[in-house]
Amino acid sequence: MCEGMTADLVLLIVVVLTALSFDFTNGFHDTANAMATSIATGALRPKVAVALSAILNFVGAFLSLKVAATIANGIVDSGAITLTVVFAGLVGGLAWNLVTWYYGIPSSSSHALIGGVVGATLLASGVKAVKGEGLVSHVIIPAVLAPIAAIVVATIGTYLVYVLTRKVAENTRARGFRIGQIGSASLVSLAHGTNDAQKTMGIITLALIANGTITKNSGTPFWVILCSATAIAAGTYIGGWRVIRTLGKGLTDIETPQGFAAETSSATVILTSTHFGFPLSTTQVCTGSVIGAGLGKRLAEVRWGVAARMGVAWLITLPAAAFVGAVAFGAAQLIGGTLGVIVVFVAAVVFAALLYLASRKTAVNAGNVNDEWVGRGVPSRVGTPV
Amino acid sequence: MNDYVDLAALWRVMVAALVGGVGIAALFSVGLVGISSGRVAARIAGGACFVLVIAGVLLGVYVMLDK
């Protein structure tokens, strides 16, 4: 019995560590959402931008504490969710986050996590445990609508911003929109903290309940809130420079008024969708806003090749993460017990380390993130690995 | 609402995002025009626009806390 308890505890610890690792990658993957345009326009120095975003994500995590102890709610049958399924789903989401970071592609961490859980559930409980209708309504339709809504708002906003301020002195306009852009980007960062850190809190709380460590009614322990907030803030501060570069420099060349219009569009679309119960992916909204900012300024170029690459990545997020989630679950089951989960965890750590080492050969960092776009994510002047 | 998409919520999101997003961008721009003008009345109007923008930001924070 004692051995069984120890194995359960080890499994719980591995799940919690994996959830916090996912939270960390969620942070550095999504720094770009709020700060890419501020960095690209020079409204904020790169290191200052990621520090500000990290602080706001940390604060945001404490602002909204109605934590739902769920994962992929409405998409997979809650009865099919075991600790191993949660773990394998997290590994699927993590792997997709890391691969897309390596290639500098903004993609939704939430959709990656859902994909991972769906894959693990398919293998664990079969097709009947996955709700196709939920998948379409919670993931596929919002993935199409999010960028469209943001493109429309940002295009009109950008057009108006340029038309209305055409007679304002250039330095006054640049200074004014610089301040506005910092404000709207801060709002996006804060919203990100309130949304995404909550997901990790929910997953860890769910794991604690499943393990019997806490009861359903005991609420989320403070250490869970603190650890989740710290992990997402640390990830944000590390800065996913590769993604920041693609969003800030790759899609279009952004000026301060465009950056302001893009961030204002992102903040309003995200907050209104939250308020009216139609949640949209922050990443997809922010990407759409940047495209809209390019379209709204006459003669500005949008690099549709880069946008198409992102679109393809969004299309395969769900199946790719599901595949990894299923493989992770299958491998853990094949080896069996807690040992299986530990082996998969170690394999995931090795994969992450190898990808990190590979990224150092073409390092993108605060020093070269704003270099001229040369048709690919990695600048001509490769940064010093840090 | 159909089986796959909550059309009522989607409609509200689109209208509110358009009004909010475009409105705040426009108000901020008019505010800049106002405060960069030499006339006192224009400066006051510009300041009023910025107050409305701040009210929009506070509404956004309220939405975050209220969910």
d(CA A313, CA A243): 13
**pLDDT tens per residue, range A147-182:** 999 999 999 999 999 999 999 998 899 999 999 999
Residue A379 lies in a domain: no
Instruction: Please list the residues that pair with A252 across neighbouring strands.
Output: A302
Residue A370 lies in a domain: no
Joined together, the tokens standing for residue A325 give 């989630």
A125 touches B: beta carbon within 8 Å: no
Residues in B 38-67 with any Cβ partner in A closer than 8 A: 53, 57, 60-61, 63-67
- Residue from A113, A166, A167 nearest A138 by CA: A113
Min Cα separation A151/chain B (Å)? 11
d(CA A78, CA A71): 8
Backbone angles phi, psi at A310, to 5 degrees: -65, -45
Mean pLDDT by 10 residues, chain B (67 residues): 74 92 96 91 94 94 83
Q: Do B33 and A167 touch (CB under 8 A)?
A: yes
Residue A1 lies in a domain: no
- Residue from A40, A35, A66 nearest A192 by CA: A35
Residues of chain A with pLDDT below 50 are 386
Residue A373 lies in a domain: no
SS3 A30: helix
| A182, A44 contact by CB (below 8 A) | yes
Residue A135 lies in a domain: yes
* Predicted local distance difference test score (pLDDT) of residue A70: 75
d(CA A200, CA A113): 11
Amino acid at A144: V
d(CA A243, CA A239): 9
SS3 A380: coil
* Predicted local distance difference test score (pLDDT) of residue A274: 85
Taking the alpha carbons at both ends of chain B, their separation in whole angstroms is 21
DSSP string, A126-157: -GGGB-HHHHIIIIIHHHHHHHHHHHHHHHHH
**pLDDT tens per residue, range A186-217:** 999 998 888 888 889 999 998 898 888 898 88
**pLDDT tens per residue, range A292-308:** 999 998 767 889 999 99
Interface test with A, best of B15, B32, B37 (most A CBs within 10 A): B32
d(CA A288, CA A265): 9
In this complex, the residue of A137, A194, A269 whose CB is nearest that of residue B4 is A137
Residue A177 lies in a domain: yes
Contact residues for A271 (Cβ-Cβ < 8 A; gap 6+): A187, A191, B20, B60, B63, B64
Residues in A 127-166 with any Cβ partner in B closer than 8 A: 133, 136-137, 141, 145, 149, 152-154, 156-158, 160-161, 164-165
Residue A119 lies in a domain: yes
* Predicted local distance difference test score (pLDDT) of residue A79: 85
SS3 A270: helix
| B27, A154 contact by CB (below 8 A) | no
SS3 A302: strand
Residue A335 lies in a domain: yes
Domain interval for residue A264: 9-360
SS3 A217: coil
| A53, A244 contact by CB (below 8 A) | no
Q: Do B28 and A260 touch (CB under 8 A)?
A: yes
Total number of domains constituting chain A: 1
Contact residues for B7 (Cβ-Cβ < 8 A; gap 6+): B1
Helices A170-211 & A46-63 angle (0-180, nearest 10): 50
* Predicted local distance difference test score (pLDDT) of residue A386: 46
Amino acid at B59: L
